[in-house]
Structure formats: structure tokens, C-alpha cells
A = this chain, B = another copy of it.
Amino acid sequence: MINPVNLVEIWRGSLLESVHQGHAVVCHASGDILHAWGDPDALVYPRSSAKMIQALPLIESGAADRFGLSAAQLALACASHNGAAIHTDRVQSWLTDLELDDSALRCGAQAPLEKSVRHGMIKTDDSPCQYHNNCSGKHAGFLTLSKHLGAGPEYVESDHPVQQAIFDAFNEVTGFESPTFGIDGCSAPNPATTIHAMARAMAFFASANPDGDLRNRAAARLRNAMMAYPELVAGEGRPCTRLMRACNGKVAIKFGAEAYFIAIIPDQKLGVALKISDGSTRAANCAIAAILVKLGLLDSEHPEAQAYINEPIINWRGIHTGWMRPAPTLQ
């Protein structure tokens, strides 16, 4: 086991105040590593960074085509969205298309991240629904597959045909037999895998041929849907959306809880996976932006790059008190 390495630094005045460590791998679909930090074999849950893998059976089974899913819906199936109207309207009409409603979801209710929607609910004393949950697009995809398979309503149970299909796809694209799974924030099983295996899976998505076999076509379709709809994959103001736009639609990027991040880079046929060991979102945002800069996908002077790799820390009176920056190893 290799220790995690310093990836992100928080400076205040002339002093390093806090530091974030982690593991990261950039590799080819062959598994050949281009860059690595920390331990490529660190075993972690990719959490929501695995949503495009969890959506593979939705396409491969024929369910997506049978129910006429659009690229926007496929992007939502891979999303951790803000719960803005552009997300929830689509999820609600998707459920209607399936002749289902909010009660069919098993993700739980979550207050939307989108401030205007959240504040609107506070003003009217409304409670969030399950479709507001950031994972509701993924769950609409699960329900679509479940309906296609004629399976039961408890689609997040690990022995349900939907999850069984996902476990198989997960082990196959990572090339690694997952030894265990955890239950995610949205109640779906989330298989553990190594950083290296996850980066390799993302490189497969990057190199997937839209005219290839079933799996290649499914992976290319999901990757392209994510790149085409950055605002559906996360939302306004969110790092995934901002960084995908800043990379001019040439990269698919996906955050996962507890500070996971992946990137799918078709032009270079590369995959990226990273985990900040302490689970800090701020550090994951900075580290993925630094890797995108390092790979030449994002100009370091681009305002969206600067926002994450040179982020000023501003206090309550607007005074600039420090910086968040990538550690020297990531620069």
C-alpha cells in the first residue's frame, strides 16, 4: 500500500493552513498509466462518479431505445443534478412516460442544491420530493430498466435484476472484480474498485467506438450525452458543468461524494480517476482542474481554471485572506 500524497494546499497569509491528500491515475484503456499520484491500487467507492457505468445496462438491454430516451435523458441518468427546473421537469415527465410518479423512486427526498429553488421552498414551507434528489435522473434510468425487465419495484436492492446487471457491467468495464459494495446516499449499491481500475474504465468510455459493439456503442452514447449537456450533468455554478464548458465540450467530467472525480477524454483516449482521502469537495474540484490543465485540456489562465486552481479565499468583509492551490506534485 502506497500512502496518499499531498494534492491540494490551503494557504492563509504566509502559512500553509490545511492540506489535502489523495490518489489519482491518468491512464489508457490498455491500463498503461500516464500519470499517477499516491496509490493506484487504493480501493474506494467511486460513488456518483460511476453513474455512466450504472447507465450501461439501460442502453445495452434495449430499454433506452424501447422507451425512446433522448440524449438529454441519458445525460440526466449520469447526473448529480442541482434540482433546478431544467432537471426536475425532465425527471417528472420521464416518470410520467413510464406511467409512474415520485412514489416509485427509491432515492429519498433531498433539498435541491439550486439556491433559488431551495429558498422558494423555504418561503412557501414546502418540502422537497424524491425527484429533487440529485440522483433522481439515475433512478429514472433504473426504473426504465426495471420496467423493461419486468422486475419488481425495489430496484435498489442488491439482488434486484437492475443492480445485478450493473454489478456485471461494473466488473467488466473496470476489469476488476469488485470485492464489496457500499450503500450510496441515494440507497443504490455502489461497488468499490481501485483508482487504477476506475481510470481504465473511464479510458474505455473515452475510446469507445460509436460504431463498435454493443458495449462500445452504449459507452460512446453516454459519454457524448454527458459532453452535450453539461448543464444537465450537474447545474449552473457547479464544477462539473463549469469545467466541461471550459473544456469546450471535449471532456466528460463527473464528481462523486466523498471527493471522487473522473474525467473521460476522447481526444486523447484517456481516463482519469481521483480520490481526495479526506472526502473534501473543495480539494477534489481543485485537483481535477489541475489535472485538466496538466493534460492541456484547459488553459491555466482560463477564468474557470483560475477559479479552481488559484481560488482566492475571501472573508465576510470581502478581504482576500488566502488561496487554495494544487500542491507542487500536481502543478
Contact = CB atoms under 8 A, between A and B. Distances in A.
Interface in A174-192: 180-187, 192
A106 interface: yes
Contacts of A20: 278
Interface stretch (A11-19, A199-207, A213-221, A226-234): A11-19
A182 B12 CA distance: 6
Interface string A1-29: 00000000010111101111100000000
B108 A318 contact: yes
Nearest to A283: B278
Nearest to A124: B123
A316 B19 contact: no
Contact of A187 (B12, B119, B316): B316
A259 interface: yes
A236 interface: no
Contacts of A61: none
B184 A277 contact: no
B184 A315 contact: yes
A213 to B, nearest CB: 32
A12 to B, nearest CB: 4
Copies of this protein in the assembly total 2
A155 to B, nearest CB: 13
Q: Please report whether the interface of chain A is mostly helix, strand, loop or mixed according to DSSP.
A: loop
A18 B278 contact: yes
Task: Give the size category of A's interface with B.
Answer: 35 or more
A19 B278 contact: yes
Nearest to A280: B278
Interface in A132-164: 133
Interface string A268-304: 0000000001111001000000000000000000000
B180 A14 contact: yes
A48 to B, nearest CB: 13
Contacts of A37: none
A133 to B, nearest CB: 6
A38 interface: no
Given A15-B44, A15-B45, A258 B10 contact: yes
B183 A10 contact: no
B316 A109 contact: yes
Interface in A305-331: 315-319, 321-322
Contact of A259 (B18, B187, B316): B18
A110 interface: yes
Contacts of A123: 122-123
Given A12-B258, A108-B318, 16 more contacts: A10-B258, A15-B43, A17-B279, A19-B278, A21-B278, A107-B317, A108-B315, A108-B316, A110-B316, A122-B122, A123-B123, A133-B316, A183-B315, A185-B315, A187-B317, A278-B280
